[in-house]
Amino acid sequence: MASTLSVNQNKLQKRLRRQVGEAVTDFNMIEDGDKVMVCLSGGKDSYTLLDILLYLQKVAPIQFEIVAVNMDQKQPGFPEHVLPQYLKSIGVPYHIIEKDTYSVVKEKIPEGKTTCSLCSRLRRGTLYTYADEIGATKMALGHHRDDILETFFLNMFYGGTLKAMPPKLLSDDGRNVVIRPLAYCSEKDIEAYSVLKEFPIIPCNLCGSQENLQRQVVKEMLLDWERKSPGRTEIMFRALQNVVPSQLADRNLFDFASLRIDETATPRFLDVMNL
C-alpha cells in the first residue's frame, strides 16, 4: 500500500507508527511472549490501534500474540457482521462476546439521561474478566492523547482531582494490565488515518444516548485552544509527563510539614553591594 500513498499520507502513517512505537517502548507496554487482547469497538480509534499493532508485530524485535475482541452489547441495529467480516479479511484471530448490557443500562438509567458512563463500566468489567479467561497478559484500549487530556480536565473541573488515563494501568485486583498504545497520537491524525484506510466504522449512537455533555464541553475547549495556539495540546500532554509535586499542594505526595530552613546551606544570593 505504501507505494500508492501520497507524500502527506505516507508521513501520516509513519508518524502514527512512530508515536505508537515510542509509547510502547517508553512504558514497556508489550513484552516478549505477551498475548495482547485488542479491544475493538468498531470506531476509528480501535481500528487504528489494531492496524498499527499488527504492523509493529511484524517489525518488532520481540514476539507477541494479538487477538481481537469485540463486545456485542445487543444495541438495536448493531451490525453484527461488520467486525467478523473485517477481521476474517485481514486474518486476525478474534472473539465476539455477546452480553446484553443494553437492557441493563436502559433499566438503570432514567429516560433522557446519559448512559455512556454505566455502559462503559459494564463493558470494561466484562472485558477484564474475558482477558483473564483467555490468558491475555495485556489489554489494549484505543484511547488517544486527546482522550487522556479531556479526562484530565474533566477530573479537574468536575471531580476535584488531578488525574487522567495513564498509558499503562494495573487493574485494582491486579489481574489485568491495561495499555493505551495510542497515548501519543492525536485524534486528528487518527481520523485522517481511518479515512485513508477506509475502516468499516460502526457508529456509537446506536443506543440513542446523548454524548456526555461535560466531555463535549471540554473537547470543544481543547479544540478552541488548539485553533488559537497550535501545538498547545501537545504541550499540555507533555505537562502530564513532567509533574513537580513540590510545586503543587498534595500533602500525600510531598512532605510540606517538614520543610525547615537549612542553617548549613550555602547562601545562593550574592552581596551585590560589595562586588
Instruction: Please give the C-alpha separations between residue 134 and each of 31, 84, 137, 168, in angstroms, as whole numbers.
Output: 18, 18, 9, 20
How many whole angstroms separate alpha carbon 182 and alpha carbon 195? 17
d(CA 98, CA 101): 9
* Residue 39 known to bind ligand: no
Do residues 62 and 30 touch, judged by C-beta distance below 8 A? yes
DSSP assignment letter at 273: G
In our burial notation (b when 16+ CB lie closer than 10 A, e otherwise), range 237-260 reads beebeeeeeeeeeeeeeeeeeeee
Q: Residue 207, annotated ligand binder?
A: yes
Q: What is the 3-state secondary structure (H, E, C) of 153-216?
A: HHHHHHHCCCCCCCCEEECCCCCCEEECCCCCCCHHHHHHHHHHHCCCCCCCCCCCCCCCHHHH
Does residue 185 have a known ligand-binding role? no
- Of 141, 143, 151, 142, the C-alpha closest to 236 is 151
Separation CA 189–CA 13 (nearest Å)? 9
List Cα–Cα distances, 33 to 140, 141, 177, 221, 238, in angstroms: 15, 19, 14, 42, 31
Binding-site residues sit at: 116, 119, 207
Binding-site residues for [4Fe-4S] cluster sit at: 116, 119, 207
